[in-house]
Chains A and B, each alone.
Chain A
Amino acid sequence: QVQLVESGGGVVQPGRSLRLSCAASGFAFKTFAIHWVRQTPGKGLEWVALITYDGGHQFYSDSVMDRFTISRDNSKDTLYLQMNDLRPDDSAMYYCAKAIDKFCFGATCYHADHWGQGTQVTVSP
């Protein structure tokens, strides 16, 4: 069955960097766009970034633009999120989430049928 397993979270000081990974299995990874979505404890969900199935296009929320980079290695069925210049308000549970439709592009990518269990990122002095 579809599995998404995030890793790489931890405690980091403001201004430092962290790289998250999301290992996928149980589906044709290279044919699906994947999102990163974060959630602050007790608060709601916030979209972070999307990468298309082939890695050719990446899109970001305004809050992480120019600091975070989403990428993927389709030969390893793995998604990444490079987070630079981290701030305390980046502290959250980070989920990877698979788009529903194969080869989606544009609006059709913006819903997700499978989510990982998340990895916690804490930015603190």
Chain B
Amino acid sequence: SALTQPPSASGSPGQSVTISCTGTSSDVGEYYYVSWYQQHPGKAPKLIIYEMTKRPSGVPDRFSASKSGNTASLTVTGLQAEDEADYYCSSYGGRNTWLFGGGTKLTVL
């Protein structure tokens, strides 16, 4: 995939977990348009973070995001069982392209 994510992450209920998303200076490092999507099995992706740090209405503030250089990060605090899902990052790639990460399977232990 164009953006690199760890294939898996895990944490116990109540704990925090951070998922990284590494791109290059031509995508994540250059643009503000990084977004994160949550996908439960058999369901469509759901937007949880856009424009690097913004949360759509209805998304709990347990979800937050940041960026440092060419790496974006999603942090989920106060893990709940319902947070178990696949998480995908994306970034504008320049020249009218949209890049996605390979996804991270988050397991709540």
Contact-size category for B: 20 to 34
Instruction: Tell me which residues across on chain B come within 8 A of A72, comparing CB atoms.
Output: none
Other-chain residue from A35, A43, A116, A118 in contact with B98 (beta carbon distance below 8 A)? A35
B92-A110 in contact (CB<8A): yes
Q: How many residues of A contact B (CB 8 A)?
A: 25
Which chain B positions have C-beta within 8 A of A47?
97-100
Do A44 and B97 have beta carbons less than 8 Å apart? no
Answer whether A45 and B51 are a contact pair too, CB < 8 Å, given A107-B33, A115-B44, A115-B46. no
A58: nearest residue on chain B (CB-CB)?
B96
- Cβ–Cβ contact A50 & B96, under 8 A: yes
Q: Which of B43-84 contact A (CB under 8 A)?
A: 43-47, 50-51, 56
Using known A-B contacts A47-B100, A59-B97, determine if residue A113 contacts B88 with beta carbons closer than 8 Å: no
B90→A45 contact, CB < 8 A: yes
Would you call A44 and B102 a contact (CB within 8 A)? yes
